[in-house]
Amino acid sequence: MVLLFVCFCLFVCFSLLVLLELSLMLALLTKATQFFSSGHTNNWAVLVCTSRFWFNYRHVANVLSVYRSVKRLGIPDSHIVLMLADDMACNHRNPKPATVFSHKNMELNVYGDDVEVDYRGYEVTVENFLRVLTGRLPPSTPRSKRLLSDDRSNILIYLTGHGGNGFLKFQDSEEISNVELADAFEQMWQKRRYNELLFIIDTCQGASMYERFYSPNIMALASSQVGEDSLSHQPDLAIGVHLMDRYTFYLLEFLEDIHPASQANMNDLFKVCPKSQCVSTPGHRTDLFLRDPGSVLITDFFGSVRKVEITREAINLTNPTELSLRNELKSEALFYVDQLPVADIIHQKPKQKDWHPPDGFILGLWSLILLVFFKTYGIKHLKHIF
């Protein structure tokens, strides 16, 4: 009787242990699948400020605060394309040069000491922006100005400036429409230039910019609906301009609490800046996105969490080859050139210019003369003349 009881207890314990182990393994497996299931392997960010002139200080501060958060969460400068249409930090009207503040009383300098701007000033045009997105840049463009994303990249695109219903103004001289933007994203999708894309826009009537998207895997956020204006946050009396826009101000506050291991998801991002704080109604669009927004982490777009797999294989390194000494071929003494050789300059011969055949006006003139000559005298009379 007792033996049976003991056996029964042992059996229960054993089964419990097995169940526990199985559940642990299952948890690990789901964590592993979750670990590898988000599908992206690298992160890129394209941050654009499209406004020129000193009174648009707040747009540059907007972009720089997103740049600061994105760098803090791990995306390196080589993976960020930062476009600023005007220089506010070293502007002669800035009472504190080399700084761009986001809070009044100059609390937070979002410009910092380690900033790399890829497109500056007049380079920020609609054409350059679309070329960066689609990758169709001239071959001599340096790497820091290219968006070298592939089909496993998650890209964050942030635009700010002055906009309207269906367009965004670039530098007070041209516009990009929502149709052009949607087509650019479709080109990116067809060329497999992104895995998932998060599009944030902070302009007046920003929601109109994402209305026309039709490519998959795009999630979009805007600071205001169609017919509403996005308002700025607060002016600083020492600097004399408004420092930030409301939506990005509260977005920065939200992002300051995020660290690389944070588990906050997109639903928290949608709640940033409700109507009571923002005065405009922020909108978002998730119908093109395949995953559920609740399962998408903030760091999937704003951070650069690398997934590393450790291996135990060894690699044999070859020994470095002996460096051969450079042969001393030259034996005559070299000298520095005279910086202002007056005698040589005065007696300088004119450059031998290559002979080019005459073109344009001269050619036309000579052909006219010859035509008149031959018409007057005729071919068959020529042998009498010459």
Partner 1 sequence: MQNAFSSPQAADLGDLRQSDEAESNEDRKAFTPPPPNDQFQEEMVIRPLYSGDIYASFQFRTQWDTDFLHDGKKVSHYRLFPKSLGQVLSKFSVRELHISFTQGYWRTMQWGQPFIPSPPGAELWVWFHHTVTDVDGNWKELTNVLSGIFCASLNFIDSTNTVEPSASFKPLGLGNATDHRFLRYATLPREIVCTENLTPWKKLLPCGSKAGLAVLMKSEKLFHSSFHSQAVHIRPVCKDWQCTSTAWELRQTLNVVFDLYTSGQGKKEWSLFKMFSRTLTEACPLASSSKIYVDVTDNPGVNPLISTAVVLGDRRTYSVYDLTKKETFGQLRSLNLLLRWKGENDMLRPPLHAERYVSGFGLQKGEIHTCLYNSHPYRAYPVLLLDSLPWYLRLYVHTLTVTSKTRENKPSYIHYQPSKDRLRPHLLEMLVQLPPHSVTEVTVQFERALLKWTEYTPDPNHGFYIGSSVISALVPSIVAMDTNSTRDRPLFSSFFPTKEESSYFMRVYTEPLLVNLPTPDFSMPYNVICLTCTVVAVGYGSFYNLLTRTFQVDEPSAPLAKRLANIIRRLRGVPLL
Interface residues with partner 1 (CB under 8 A) are 41-42, 52-53, 87, 89-90, 96-99, 111-118, 120-123, 138, 140-145, 171-173, 306-316, 319-320, 322-323, 326, 328, 330-342, 345-346, 348, 351
The amino acid at 131: R
**Please, are residues 62 and 88 in contact by the beta-carbon 8 Å criterion?**
no
Task: Tell me whether residue 171 or residue 223 sits nearer to partner 1 (CB atom).
Answer: 171
What are the tokens at 198? 């998060």
- Nearest approach, Cβ of 27 to partner 1 (angstroms)? 24
Is residue 284 helix, strand or coil? strand
What is the DSSP code string of 136-183?
Answer: ---TT--GGGS----TTEEEEEEEESEEETTEEEETTTEEEEHHHHHH
Q: How far apart are CA 56 and CA 90, in angstroms?
A: 14
With 0-12 / 13-18 / 19 or more C-beta atoms within 10 angstroms meaning exposed / middle / buried, residue 324 is: exposed
Q: How far apart are CA 66 and CA 233, in angstroms?
A: 16
9 in active site:
no
- Nearest approach, Cβ of 99 to partner 1 (angstroms)? 6
- Nearest approach, Cβ of 338 to partner 1 (angstroms)? 5
- Nearest approach, Cβ of 156 to partner 1 (angstroms)? 19
**Please, are residues 192 and 82 in contact by the beta-carbon 8 Å criterion?**
no
Task: Tell me whether residue 105 or residue 367 sits nearer to partner 1 (CB atom).
Answer: 105
Task: Name every residue whose Cβ is closer than 8 Å to that of residue 32 and which is 6 or more positions away in sequence.
Answer: none
Task: Tell me whether residue 107 or residue 309 sits nearer to partner 1 (CB atom).
Answer: 309
- Nearest approach, Cβ of 308 to partner 1 (angstroms)? 5
103 in active site:
no
- Nearest approach, Cβ of 175 to partner 1 (angstroms)? 12
Give the sheet arrangement for strand 119-120, strand by strand: 119-120, 80-84, 42-49, 153-160, 196-202, 218-222, 283-285
Across the strands, what pairs with 154? Answer: 43, 196
Q: What is the CA radius of gyration of the chain?
A: 33
| Dihedral of alpha carbons 155, 156, 161, 162, sign | positive
Task: Tell me whether residue 4 or residue 333 sits nearer to partner 1 (CB atom).
Answer: 333
User: Which of the following is catalytic: 40, 59, 103, 204?
Assistant: 204
Task: Tell me whether residue 38 or residue 144 sits nearer to partner 1 (CB atom).
Answer: 144
Task: Tell me whether residue 237 or residue 337 sits nearer to partner 1 (CB atom).
Answer: 337
Task: Tell me whether residue 86 or residue 245 sits nearer to partner 1 (CB atom).
Answer: 86
Torsion angle in degrees (nearest 10) through CA of 296, 298, 301, 305: -100
Q: How far apart are CA 116 and CA 141, in angstroms?
A: 16
As annotated, the active-site residues are: 162, 204
